[in-house]
Amino acid sequence: MQYDEIMVRYGELSTKGRNQKNFIDRLGANVTKALHGFDQVKIHPQRDRMHIDLNGADSSQVMDRLKQVFGIQTFSPSLRVESDFEAVKQAAAKMIREQVKEPATFKISTRHADHGFPMGTFEMNRELGAYLLKEFPDLLTVDVHHPDIDLMVEIRKSGIYLTSEKIKGAGGLPVGTAGKGMMMLSGGIDSPVAAYLAMKRGVSLEMVHFYSPPYTSEQALAKSKELTSKLAKYCGSIKFIQVPFTEIQETVKEKIPEGYLMTVQRRLMLRLAAALAMKRHGLAIFNGESLGQVASQTMESMVAINDVTTWPVLRPVLSFDKTEIIKIAEEIDTYELSILPYEDCCTVFTPPSPKTKPNLKRARAYEARLDVEGLMQRALENIKVTEIHAGDEFLNQNQDVFAELL
């Protein structure tokens, strides 16, 4: 069915009191970005709802894009008719004819926003209900408590709107309302899921990715960029910051005892992420750590690593089991990419048995053997920032290698 309007409900937003205006403005901007390319569409963000005037744009394509915008609780594609009961009857009958193929129960719920219209809510429910029952005697019966179809009628100044569907949106809060965070993105399964969950709570992210050529390949870098492009569909575009990590890894390997390689390496990663957060006005650092999953993700390790910064380090998947993380990765379509076998910089330098309970004082002492300032400065001088948009492709450029690995 070709609809005239999509009506958007905010859900959690309506409870945000004084911030409400910021939230709605941001959601309006994010929806505009998500609907880029649909030039005829007009967006009207209002206090209680947002109305998206389709002006002939394909409603199912528009709805596919809306499903990816955080801050939308539900939305309903609607038909618009003139403020006239005859027209309402015709449109309602058309909807039933097109959408109901087997006997079903229904009810009418009317919402009145234009007090100039002569029929009241109760009268509309009753008259329209009676009309539809007469029109479809073998198809429809009334059930006001648990109807199969809830035909919603909204009487507004600009006309009367009818809808029978309430589609679940992405939930969460509009990206950008929580401020900016730096996401430590590897090519693994966990960090893309953590990124998704952070964005869902309104954080706008910049990706920080450490790479170590020639120990890590071009494909490993391309894979992280492609993961970023998958995640960009929730916010339009994401800045991807690649940080050269080769010199640090080689130096750490040379100067630090094997049991503390990983701890010290991670301390440097976090130092760099924190430096970038400060420089680029990020409010927190996000990573994909899950408690107890591997050696570096014990609480003892967190003590020994987190020591390098007072900036908040937030871990959206901390309490998730691997299977729960994988489930989300599949839903957001990052899983298949994440399991491609390109080595990232951690796997290459991971010792066979890193300490699961590193000691903070020792970690500090070993790290002091390094020229931390110099190493960091050289890495930061050579970062490269790319703006990645939803749908950008990076791995296809290496199709041959890609095909071989599959």
Residues in the annotated binding site: 184-185, 209-210, 266, 288, 297
Give the DSSP letter string of 75-89.
EEEEEEE-S-HHHHH
When binding is defined by CB under 6 A, the residue of 5, 165, 206, 344 that contacts ligand ATP is 344
Q: Tokens 């408690």 label which residue?
A: 291
Residue 293 interaction partner, one of ligand ATP, Mg ion, none, beta carbon < 5-8 Å per kind: ligand ATP
Q: How far is the CB of 294 from Mg ion (least distance, A)?
A: 8
Q: Does 316 bind Mg ion (CB under 5 A)?
A: no
The runs of H, that is alpha helices, within 49-206 are 59-66, 85-99, 121-135, 190-200
Answer yes or no: are the C-beta atoms of 387 and 237 closer than 8 Å. yes
Closer to ligand ATP by Cβ: residue 186 or 251: 186
What's 311's DSSP letter? S
- Which listed residue (41, 294, 318, 326) binds ligand ATP by CB under 6 A? 294
Q: Bridge-partner residues for 385, per DSSP?
A: 241
Shortest separation between residue 359's beta carbon and ligand ATP, angstroms: 19
Q: Residue 181: in which H helix or E strand, if any?
A: strand 179-184
| Position closest to Mg ion via CB | 188
Tokens of 96: 């039933």
Rounded Cα distance between 251 and 349, Å, is 11
What distance in Å separates the CA atoms of residue 161 and residue 72, rounded to the nearest whole number?
A: 20
Binding-site residue positions for ATP: 184-185, 209-210, 266, 288, 297
In the set 78, 186, 224, 242, which binds Mg ion (CB under 5 A)?
186
- Under 8 Å CB-to-CB from 349, ≥6 apart: which residues? 212, 215, 249, 252, 253, 261, 262, 265
Return the residues of window 174-193 that contact ligand ATP according to CB under 6 A. 184-186, 188-191
Choose which of 26, 209, 230, 355 interacts with ligand ATP (CB under 6 A).
209
249 part of the interface to ligand ATP, by CB under 6 A: no
Q: Does 293 help bind ligand ATP (rule: CB under 6 A)?
A: yes
185 makes contact, choosing from ligand ATP, Mg ion, none, with CB < 5 to 8 Å by partner type, with ligand ATP
DSSP for 262-296?
HHHHHHHHHHHHHHHHHHTT-SEEE----TTSSGG
Binding stretches for ligand ATP (CB under 6 A)? 184-186, 188-191, 208-210, 287-289, 293-294, 296, 344-346
